Amino acid sequence: MITLPHKRSLLTWLVHLSVLFLVIVWTIPTAGLFVSSIRDKDQLSSSGWWTALSTSEQRIVYRAGIPNPPLLENGEYIIRGNLFDNAEAVVSHFGFTSLKPDVFLAGDEASLSKGRTLTVKDNGDYLITSPEVFQGRGQRIFYTAQIPPRFTLENYQEVLSSEGLGKSFINSLTVTIPSTVIPILMAAFAAYALAWMRFPGRALLMVTVVGLLVVPLQMSLIPLLKAYNLIGETFGVGSKTYIGVWLAHTAFGLPLAIYLLRNYIAGLPREIIESARVDGASDFDIFRKIVLPLSFPALASFSIFQFLWVWNDLLIAMVFLGNNEDQLVLTGRLRELLGSRGGNWEILTASAFVTILVPLCVFFGLQRYLVRGLLSGSVK
């Protein structure tokens, strides 16, 4: 009797520490993504986000432009300039070929071809001398510099100012909202029928719904798209429409929705349902006035899953909507932006946080119902 409270307290601390550990593990990648999204693109490409607050070493190539008109000083033609704009950066090594990019120390004088010389100081100032007039594209300078940490919002400005982003944002809302509401309405009716209505084949239907949960989405894309094209040709309607993508998301989301809602609705007190039937209420009245209000936590919890899935989807949107500029969703627009930029990391990280804003608002608005809706049907 004396040791029981002590054991219980120790177990409580263990649970709290375990939860804290899981929270930290899940938060670290998101924090790293955010830090990467506000870092300078050169530093992001050369070092990890965990080095964001420390000085980073970067190897950079710089091409010195030829002045026009030529500069003549002490009988030699010269090119003078600075390798970078950041006054706090420090050059440690330099070179003039890609094979030996750091063979010289800052301040040394390197001998080039045709009697030319190259000098690079630690503050980035360089001087190129030549007995003849400079010609061609200019001298390349390879240098290793210690760059202090630099943070910027240019990555977000580049993403948010991209052409067509606002239209794609509206398109994503146009796809996501109906694709979330339609399966919830259909699944609620089906879940009530499977939980409280008696009819032949009810158990078989429930087994079928559970079986559909394990069917890979990719297996049904091709036959479903062929069916859409056939229907479109038959009725003279194009297959690349919002109705098609709404129905596709509804079909893929219904099994999980029916499964979750059925477990929740089946756990509602039987006395309430039977009392309503004794009072003469029909199944539709019971569903509308009793089951739906009591099932709001389960409906909210599924709406979070469905909204996040549809909002972040790219595959179904590209298959059933295509690459039409007027119907391109936000994930497709950002993919096009990444393609035109060569897959730059700074664009990718900033785009991730742009797309996460709306799902975060939905999640924090409904998260208090999430656990209650998922667990209410699991215990009596």
- Nearest Cα neighbor of 292 from 172, 211, 378, 195 is 195
Of 43, 28, 36, residue with least CA distance to 347? 36
pLDDT band at 197 (very low <50, low <70, confident <90, very high): confident
pLDDT score of 86? 59
HSE-CB at 261 with a 13 A cutoff on CA atoms is 32
Q: Is the model's pLDDT at 272 over the cut of 60?
A: yes
Q: Do the beta carbons of residue 101 and residue 95 sit within 8 Å? A: yes
Provide the pLDDT for residue 117.
92
Least confident residue range of 93-102, 283-292, 301-310, 328-337? 328-337
Element (H, E) at 111: strand 109-111
Both tokens assigned to 57: 């070493």
The predicted-structure confidence for 178-195, as pLDDT tens digits, reads as follows 999 999 999 999 999 998
Could you tell me the pLDDT band of residue 157, with boundaries at 50, 70 and 90? confident
Output the CA torsion sign for 270, 272, 273, 277.
positive
Gap between the Cα atoms of 257 and 299, Å rounded: 9
Rounded mean pLDDT of 328-351? 76
Burial label, 115 (beta-carbon count in 10 A; 0-12, 13-18, 19+)? exposed
Residue 50: the pLDDT is 87
Q: Which amino acid is at 138?
A: G
pLDDT of residue 263: 87
Average pLDDT of the chain is 83
Q: Of 46 and 139, which is predicted with more confidence?
A: 139
Tell me, what's the pLDDT at 48?
Answer: 81
Task: Dump pLDDT digits (tens) for 344-360.
Answer: 677 888 888 888 888 88
Which element (helix H / strand E) includes 31?
helix 3-37
Query: Could you read off the pLDDT of 215-246 as tens digits, one per residue?
Result: 887 788 888 878 877 877 666 555 678 888 89
Q: Is the pLDDT of residue 3 over 60?
A: no
Per-residue pLDDT, 279? 86
CA angle 323, 326, 332 (to 5 degrees): 40
Report the Cα–Cα distance between both ends of the chain, in Å, rounded.
Answer: 30
What is the average per-residue pLDDT within 45-73?
Answer: 84
**Long-range CB contact pairs, 263-266, < 8 A, 24+:** 263/377, 263/378, 264/191, 264/295, 264/297, 264/298, 264/373, 264/376, 264/377, 265/191, 265/192, 265/195, 265/196, 265/291, 265/295, 265/298, 265/377, 266/195, 266/196, 266/377
Which strand (E) or helix (H) includes residue 62?
strand 56-63
Q: What is the pLDDT of residue 343?
A: 57
Asked if the model's pLDDT at residue 26 lies above 60, the reply is yes
pLDDT reported for residue 378: 44
